[in-house]
Amino acid sequence: MKPRYMILLLTLSVFLMVGCGQKDTPEKPSGADEHIQKEIEDYTKLTDGELEVYSLDGDVKAQMELACRYDYGTAAKGRDFGQAKVYYEMAAAQGDLDALRCMGYLYLNGCLGEVDLDKAMEYFTQALELGDVDSNVAIGRTYLAGYGDPTSSTASALEYIETAFKQGRPSGAYYMAYLYEEGIGVTQDVNQAMELYTSVLEMKELSRYDAYLVDAARTRIGILYVEGKGIPQDYDKALSNFKMSAKKGYAMAQYYMGQMYENGYGVDKDYETAYDWYVKAAKQDYAPALNQLGYLYYKGNGVDADLDQAIYYHKLAAMQGYAAAQINLGYLYENGIGVDKDLSTALKYYTMAAEQNNEGAKEAVTRVSKQLDEEK
């Protein structure tokens, strides 16, 4: 394996932000029995403790507000997917469509452990059958992630996403743009993608579940300018788009700010600044940024070389199913870099990436398997 496999691979990003935790069931706060239900005008102004009391009284809006705080995180505390799941389940049990869809995304994004496409599809389908039109995109994304028959999954993804788009759903416009950008199920058309991404930027009064789409679309526009795919390459415009969303805390944009500085695209190459941007995204558990921090520590770019730190960050990214990190770990174990040489462990990591149809990982699986056979 040559070091080129340490280069970061762009993968389909998962944009709905959610978090992970441990506690399974909430304890009922003291005084809850004496709590008198009253009409609430703005649940966002309630404390966590107040929301917990209302949640245990069966208030769906309180359950969803508390779930989202754990899901997205707040300034006062980080994200906790396990706790988010507890309160989403409470609301889902009462038939709340947003809760059903959010539960599906926890499983689609692997926030509760490994990705579970079957479980995700179960929740999305239930929500759609109850009338949640936004679950069309969720189902489409599940097919894009590899659900179902590989020979028909792309067509199925297009069908559901296109339905959401025709229904005027913001997420439908965004994901149709992505399909046009990548030529997935449709003829690649970057100009059409740019038009649709731009339409997302102009959308007003988005729900809390769709609010991220503006920054997601702006970041994709930046990527198009970096790559010069069907449009003139323009690093200045790319940097401008990335910076706008990165300053708002959007992890993917922060990661691409790091990429711009690491590679010197439109700016002087600056590993330390790249490192700082990657750290911002990594604090949101963004796998590509975690992986790239590992690469900086491996190379000693912007930081002192530290193989223990490199392995640590690669493992954090690999645990999220990120193929590039799995390949990097396979390379380190195959060659005994920072760890004892262990071909069996290397093979496990390469296999994880190969199962995501990564060609480099497939070649590595063949090579390492042959070495193991020769050692028998």
Mind giving me the DSSP string for 9-36? PP-PPP-S--------SPPPPTTGGG--
The whole-angstrom separation of Cα 259 and Cα 173 is 27
| pLDDT at site 4 | 42
Q: How far from the centroid of its chain's Cα atoms is residue 336's Cα?
A: 31
* Residue ranges of domains in the chain, CATH in brackets: 19-30+41-132 (1.25.40.10), 285-376 (1.25.40.10)
| pLDDT at site 38 | 60
- Encode the chain (376 residues) as per-residue pLDDT tens digits: 444 444 343 333 433 333 443 344 444 444 444 444 467 889 999 999 999 999 999 999 999 999 999 998 887 777 899 999 999 999 999 999 999 999 999 999 888 887 899 999 999 999 999 999 999 999 999 999 999 999 999 999 999 999 999 999 999 999 999 999 999 999 999 999 999 999 999 999 999 999 999 999 999 999 999 999 889 999 999 999 999 999 999 999 999 999 999 999 999 999 999 999 999 999 988 999 999 999 999 999 999 999 999 999 999 999 988 999 999 999 999 999 999 999 999 999 999 999 988 999 999 999 999 999 998 7
The whole-angstrom separation of Cα 184 and Cα 127 is 25
| pLDDT at site 264 | 98
Report the 3 state secondary structure along 268-318.
CCCHHHHHHHHHHHHCCCCHHHHHHHHHHHHHCCCCCCCHHHHHHHHHHHH
The whole model's pTM is what? Answer: 0.83
Mind giving me the DSSP string for 36-97? -----S-GGGS-HHHHHHHHHTT-HHHHHHHHHHHHH--SSS---HHHHHHHHHHHHTTT-H
Task: Count the helix, strand and coil residues of the chain and give each as a percent rounded to the nearest 5.
Answer: 65, 0, 35
| pLDDT at site 39 | 79
Q: Which residues, 6 or more positions from 231, have their beta carbon under 8 angstroms from its beta carbon?
A: 190, 191, 194, 224, 225
